[in-house]
Amino acid sequence: MEISAVKVKELREKTGAGMMDCKKALTEAGGDFSKAEEWLRQKGLAAAAKKASRVASEGAVGSYVHMGGKIGVLVEVNCETDFVARNELFQAFVKDVAMHIAASAPLYLRREEVPAEVVEKERAIYREQLREQGKPEKVWDKILEGKLDKFYKDVCLLDQPFVKDPDKSITQLITEMVAKIGENIQVRRFSRYQLGEGAVAEKK
């Protein structure tokens, strides 16, 4: 069933849930708006989204070292209170995010952080591919958006499929954790180190 972007936007504005969650809710409800809203409430996603505007200044810096010390990650994850920051569920979540970063090597936290020149370079590559494939120009824009979406899922942490459960993105994982804990949670920043990365051979 085709779900219109207008309906998804309307549901998002009413519930505060994420775009993908709203689309899934409408799909599950067969396009029925009321049932979709109920589905979001049952999943705790609508309430979780409303917490996203609250200040998250507490939290924890998590670490993960993989492959015998060849890959290391530091990640800062924020919540609202020190009580939650010390919660085992929250601590396990921080560890999971650090482990995911080690495994999936994101380059950016979110789409908005990808430099415009990087995005344009990708667009140029895709346009050349479409030209070589002989695709009509009238369908380029739609195909380009799909390819860019895949690019973001490759390089942006919040868009990446979670390594332990590829059916959900890191953003969805955060939303579920917000619903469980009852506080706003944000991944603030991360650093990933790989042994020998960027090293240049010494000239003799």
pLDDT digits (tens, 9 = 90+) for 179-200: 888 888 999 999 999 988 765 5
Measured in Å, how far apart are the chain's first and last C-alpha atoms? 65
Provide the pLDDT for residue 203. Answer: 45
Q: Is the dihedral of CA 161, 163, 168, 173 positive or negative?
A: negative
Provide the pLDDT for residue 153. Answer: 93
The Cα 135–Cα 138 span in angstroms is: 9
Q: Where are the domains of the chain?
A: 5-51, 56-110+156-194, 115-154
Please name the CATH architecture into which domain 56-110+156-194 falls: 2-Layer Sandwich (3.30)
Class of domain 5-51 (CATH, top level)? mainly alpha
The residue behind tokens 């290391």 is: 72
Task: At 174, list the tokens.
Answer: 């955060």
pTM, 2 dp: 0.69
- Give the helix/strand (H/E) hosting 178: helix 170-181
Chain segment 94-150, per-residue pLDDT in tens = 999 999 999 999 999 999 999 999 999 998 898 888 888 877 777 787 888 888 999
Asked if residue 54 has pLDDT above 80, the reply is: no
Provide the pLDDT for residue 104. Answer: 95
CATH number of the domain located at residue range(s) 115-154 in this protein: 1.10.286
